Amino acid sequence: MKEFVNEIRDWAESFSPQEVMKKLTTAFPEQVVFSTSFGLEDQVITDMIAGLQLPVKIFTLDTGRLFSETYSVWNSTLERYQINIRAYYPDGEALNAFVSQHGPNAFYESVALRKQCCHIRKVEPLKKALQGAKIWITGLRSEQGSERQQLQKAEWDEANQIIKFHPLFDWTWEEVWNYVRTNHVPYNVLHDRGFPSIGCAPCTRAIKPGEDFRAGRWWWENNASKECGLHKR
């Protein structure tokens, strides 16, 4: 599979995001998946997939701690596009053991506990969601942080043994908004309240003017890395 990464990068230089995704579904039938967290970028990609009726399997990770506004845009997305979005949930026994031992808000206590919580609620469900897939489409953009600037539009994910494609990788935040407004794409109202990046409710806040795009994620941590383990290189 690794040998296809460069070919996909070449496609991305010559074709639109929609055209590349169409090529991917032709080259890898029934093996292309898209993960959505219902953020602005993901809503753009969902609109593209639905508009072309691409045979892409769409899924989301329901951690159990999402904002009510996220569930609202999830529902409005289903109504607008009449598509299937499969939800994956944390393993009940693993989650119960973690909360019983450390408490429901243990992620505030240490980076290690926060990452353990993310692992149970996100990383393990992701592994199930990616089973049988060859291509994983994401809403990552280079503008989202220093670590993401080091990525490319297509890359090999060693941890999950899959090719990742980021169709909006070189889009600006303004371009994303322009697409949403022009195409009347349903979006999470938290974006209007200063949330550029939206994750679990206890772990996400609005950012202040001049702050980094992902400063609102796990804001109590001092480290520069603002990742949960889903996008390991």
> In a 10 Å sphere around its CB, with 0-12 CB exposed, 13-18 middle and 19+ buried, how is residue 35 labelled?
buried
**Averaged pLDDT of the chain:** 92
What pLDDT is recorded for position 223?
62
What pLDDT is recorded for position 99?
97
What pLDDT is recorded for position 91?
97
> In a 10 Å sphere around its CB, with 0-12 CB exposed, 13-18 middle and 19+ buried, how is residue 14 labelled?
exposed
Residues 6+ positions from 82 with CB-CB distance below 8 Å = none
What pLDDT is recorded for position 232?
54
Condensed to tens digits (0 to 9), the pLDDT of residues 108-141 reads 999 999 999 999 999 999 999 999 999 999 999 9
- Rounded to 5 degrees, what are φ and ψ at 59? -140, 165
Q: How far apart are CA 155 and CA 7, in angstroms?
A: 11
What pLDDT is recorded for position 145?
63
* CB contact at 8 A, 55 and 32: yes
What pLDDT is recorded for position 44?
98
Give this prediction's pTM. 0.92
Q: Cα 155–156–161 angle (5° rounding)?
A: 150
| Cα 222 to Cα 105, 116, 194, 198, 217, distances in angstroms | 18, 18, 21, 19, 11
Residue ranges and CATH numbers for the domains of the chain are 2-203 (3.40.50.620)
Count of Cβ atoms closer than 10 Å to residue 182 Cβ: 8
* Alpha carbon 209 to chain centroid, angstroms: 24
Cross-sheet strand order for the sheet of 32-35: 85-88, 57-61, 32-35, 135-137, 162-165, 154-157
Q: Cα 33–37–43 angle (5° rounding)?
A: 80
Question: Which residues are tagged catalytic?
Answer: 228
Total count of residues recorded for the chain:
233
Ranges of residues in the chain with a pLDDT under 70 are 145-150, 223-233
